[in-house]
């Protein structure tokens, strides 16, 4: 439906062109400035995580490789998705209907990879706490690298399946020329993209915290010295599980609104104002993750200090003791 009044995106298509977005008001400009600041902060903080884990050999652990993969997806959110979302809401779409559908492959791939990384982190903590003897044997760096690779590959396939209708029938949901809207409603997205991952995460962490409680009780009781040493080894893993548990809880808070709306039966039209608000709320999670690292991981603070003071340019900095 073509809006009356105002300039058109395509004046030559008077009867079918969309209306150009109105110039942003002063309050809207402040919102965009805040979003741009969040995007810059998100990209910068996650870049520090990427450099830290990639550079320092002490951080080359299976769990940290999962955090590295998550940081890559979070960096792409700040570097690409938030700026592109801002531009898209303030301009006419001029690249055609097919490119509109292809454009939305990028955010779905990145968001799906983030969800997959959270599932892998939960599985990693479950193995470390509930099956510690086999964890060090089975969960190797090579195995985790393979899991991360498959996570990103599956995210690509998932995005293609989710946008299959839009790719086959581009422009079906556009009300006028100059608009970029696609539909991702359907039981498939709700079940595969939300219910299954969230169920896996919650079930695994319930088991992890059950073991953590039993370990805490064991520490308070009178136990042998040999048993105490075993418990102390597990306490380090439990501490990591608690920190990553906070990461998971924040993730659930930020990601739930969009999918809860879908669970109510409402179709999610990508590109609408309601969807844009919920998407930005999801994107904000990518800024919070490195903040959580900075609060709970001393090694991240030490790594930041070495990076910003350019001490990592020294050849021996790879072997720096930051743990």
| Tens-digit pLDDT profile for residues 74-103 | 999 999 988 887 777 767 777 777 888 888
Dist. CA 267–CA 277, nearest whole Å: 15
Domain count across the chain: 1
Give residue 277's Cα distance to chain centre: 16
* 6 within a domain of the structure (yes/no): no
pLDDT at 171 over 80: no
Q: Specify if 9 maps to a domain.
A: no
What is the rounded (10 degree) CA torsion for 163, 165, 169, 175?
A: -80
* Percent of all residues in the chain with a pLDDT value above 70, rounded to a whole number: 78
* Six-digit token string for 64: 């940290």
Q: Domain with 80 in it: what CATH number? A: 1.20.1070.10
Query: For 21, left (φ over 0), alpha (ψ -120 to 50), or beta?
Result: beta
Question: Would residue 218 count as lying in a domain?
Answer: yes
- pLDDT at site 221: 63
Q: Which residue has the higher pLDDT, 247 or 25?
A: 247
Domain that includes residue 269, residue range: 30-169+178-319
**Residue 58 within any structural domain of the chain:** yes
Residue 104 — φ and ψ, nearest 5°? Answer: -75, -5
Nearest-10 Cα torsion for 85, 89, 90, 96: 90
pLDDT digits (tens, 9 = 90+) for 144-155: 999 999 999 999
DSSP assignments along 122-179, one per residue? HHHHHHHHH-HHHHHHHS-HHHHHHHHHHHHHHHHHHHHHHTHHHHHSTTTT-SSBT-
pLDDT number for residue 233? 40
17 in a structural domain:
no
Q: Is residue 124 a part of any domain in this protein?
A: yes
200-242: per-residue pLDDT in tens? 988 888 888 777 777 666 655 655 444 544 444 456 666 666 7
Instruction: Specify if 22 maps to a domain.
Output: no
Residue 45: its pLDDT value, please?
93
Task: Assess if residue 251 is contained within a domain.
Answer: yes
């Amino acid at each position: 439906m073509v809006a009356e009044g105002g300039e058109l995106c395509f004046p030559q298509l008077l009867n079918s062109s969309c209306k150009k977005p109105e110039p942003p008001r002063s309050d809207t400009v402040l919102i965009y400035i805040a979003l741009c600041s969040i995007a810059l902060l998100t990209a910068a903080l996650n870049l520090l995580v990427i450099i830290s884990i990639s550079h320092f050999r002490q951080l080359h652990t299976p769990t940290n490789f999962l955090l590295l993969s998550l940081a890559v997806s979070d960096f792409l959110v700040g570097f690409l998705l938030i700026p592109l979302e801002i531009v898209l809401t303030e301009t006419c779409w001029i690249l055609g209907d097919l490119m509109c559908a292809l454009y939305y492959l990028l955010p779905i791939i990145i968001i799906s990879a983030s969800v997959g990384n959270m599932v892998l982190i939960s599985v990693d903590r479950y193995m470390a706490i509930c099956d510690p003897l086999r964890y060090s044997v089975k969960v190797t760096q090579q195995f985790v690298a393979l899991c991360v690779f498959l996570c990103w590959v599956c995210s690509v396939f998932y995005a293609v399946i989710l946008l299959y209708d839009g790719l086959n029938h581009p422009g079906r949901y556009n009300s006028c020329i100059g608009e970029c809207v696609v539909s991702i409603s359907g039981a498939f997205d709700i079940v595969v993209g939300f219910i299954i991952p969230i169920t896996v995460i919650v079930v695994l962490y319930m088991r992890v915290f059950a073991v953590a409680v039993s370990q805490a009780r064991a520490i308070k009781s009178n136990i042998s010295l040999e048993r105490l040493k075993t418990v102390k080894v597990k306490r380090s893993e439990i501490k990591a599980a608690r920190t990553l548990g906070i990461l998971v809880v924040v993730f659930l808070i930020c990601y739930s609104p969009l999918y809860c709306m879908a669970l109510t039966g409402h179709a999610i039209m990508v590109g609408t104002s309601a969807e844009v608000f919920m998407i930005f709320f999801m994107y904000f999670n990518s800024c919070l993750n490195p903040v959580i690292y900075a609060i709970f991981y001393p090694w991240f603070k030490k790594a930041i200090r070495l990076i910003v003071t350019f001490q990592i340019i020294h050849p021996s900095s790879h072997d720096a003791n930051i743990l």
